[in-house]
Amino acid sequence: MSQAADADGGLDIYVFRYADVWLMLAESASENNDPTTALTAVNEIRKRSFGATGVFTANLSKEDMASYLFKERAVEFYGEGQRRLDLIRWGKLYNSVKTAAATEDAFVAGPFVQLPAMRH
């Protein structure tokens, strides 16, 4: 085996987790007014975690689905470094940091509140 072929040590790396693909599908379907597809995608994640009794049986409104996905992505990808990108995409980063800064110590409230990229 050549050195270039073995540069990763033989380990597989992931680009997207399976749950991320389902949640992206649910988010895009919901945003495009397709609640049935969004519900199917969300239920795939819920069946994995809660079994058949944990699935939603009725479509959620667009607002309720967005709220659910916001929370579900926080739980599903806890500690994986995706939350900041989600907050930027949803336009919630600035307010989230301001809220955290108001409840945390001075270290957290420091320079992070002033970053221009957070005002999008």
Same domain, 2 and 37: yes
pLDDT digits (tens, 9 = 90+) for 58-117: 888 899 999 999 999 998 888 888 889 999 989 999 998 888 877 766 555 555 555 555
pLDDT digits (tens, 9 = 90+) for 18-62: 899 999 999 999 999 999 999 999 999 888 888 877 788 888 889
Domain count for the chain: 2
Residues 20-56 as b/e (b if ≥16 CB within 10 A, e otherwise) read bebbebbbebbeeebbeebbbbbbbbbeeeeeeeeee
- For residue 106, is it within any domain? yes
Domain extent at residue 49: 1-80
Same domain, 5 and 54: yes
Phi, psi of 93 (to 5 degrees): -65, -50
Contact 95, 63 (CB under 8 A): no
Residue 22 sits in a domain whose CATH number is 1.25.40.900
Same domain, 99 and 119: yes
For 33-44, the DSSP string reads T-HHHHHHHHHH
Same domain, 94 and 72: no
pLDDT interval class at 2 (50, 70, 90): low
